[in-house]
Amino acid sequence: MSANSTAKKIVSVLQQLPVDKVKHYASFKYAQIERFCNIGGIPIPKAVKEEQEIQEKKKQVLIKLDAAKLKRMIFSETEEKPDYQKNLFNEDILKQQYKSIKSIHENKWGNYYAISSKLHEPKGNPNYYSRLLGDINAGGQKKEGIFTAFKTIISGRY
């Protein structure tokens, strides 16, 4: 099996990862798909490119000043592209990476160290996680009624 086919396998596992429900400054899934496509010489999927474009547009609105980075951007002669150090990757390294991403995706450690409902439905705040998930799934757009809002504020519970 060549290194490229292992990279392909890594990308296929990465594509199965869930999309972030809340947009963050970077997406693990898309960043890593791009990286391993680059390493394995695989064309970057369309969905990832689209996502990157959206991120780029956002970045133009929110400019974070970083003196060192700006210096590099201004004074470097070539255009700065992420350096994935492609030549350092060999078959063994990629296989290890594949094994790890697979065990993360298969929930290996979550299943091995399974925990009871004691922590998932904490007795001090039983609805904490279900409400958090509900709000995340609703995209943070769900409005709370005035009575439940008062209840939350006064009791501190969810």
Partner 1 sequence: MLSASIRRQTQCLVRNGVFKAGNHINISNRLVSSATKTTETTIETVTAAPSPEDLAKESQMPHFENPDLPNRDISTKNKLVKPDYENDGFKVPQWKRAFGETFISLFHIDMDNVRAGTIGGSKYFYMCKDQGLQFTDEPLSETAIFWYETLGLPRTFAMWFQITTLHVWLLFIRMRAMPFKIGKNYQQKITDKLFKDIELRLSEEMNVLSGQIRDTYMKDFHSQMLGMIFSLDEAFAQKSDDVLAAAIWRNIFNGDKNIDIVKLEAVVRYVRMQLYVLDNISDRAFGFGDFEFVGPNETVELLSKEDKSQLLKMTKIKYEPEDGKILPSHKSKLSLDE
Alpha carbon distance 107, 98 (integer Å): 14
> Does residue 61 belong to the site contacting partner 1 (CB under 8 A)?
no
Instruction: Residue 101: count other Cβ atoms within 10 Å of its Cβ.
Output: 19
Q: What residues contact 137, with CB distance under 8 A and at least 6 apart?
A: 21
Q: Are 104 and 137 in contact (CB under 8 A)?
A: no
Which of the residues 79 through 138 are near partner 1 (CB under 8 A)?
82-85, 88-89, 92-93, 96-97, 99-101, 103-110, 112-116, 118-120, 122-125, 128-130, 132-133, 136
Binding site for partner 1 (CB under 8 A): 17-18, 20-22, 24-29, 31-32, 34-35, 66, 68-69, 72, 82-85, 88-89, 92-93, 96-97, 99-101, 103-110, 112-116, 118-120, 122-125, 128-130, 132-133, 136, 156-157
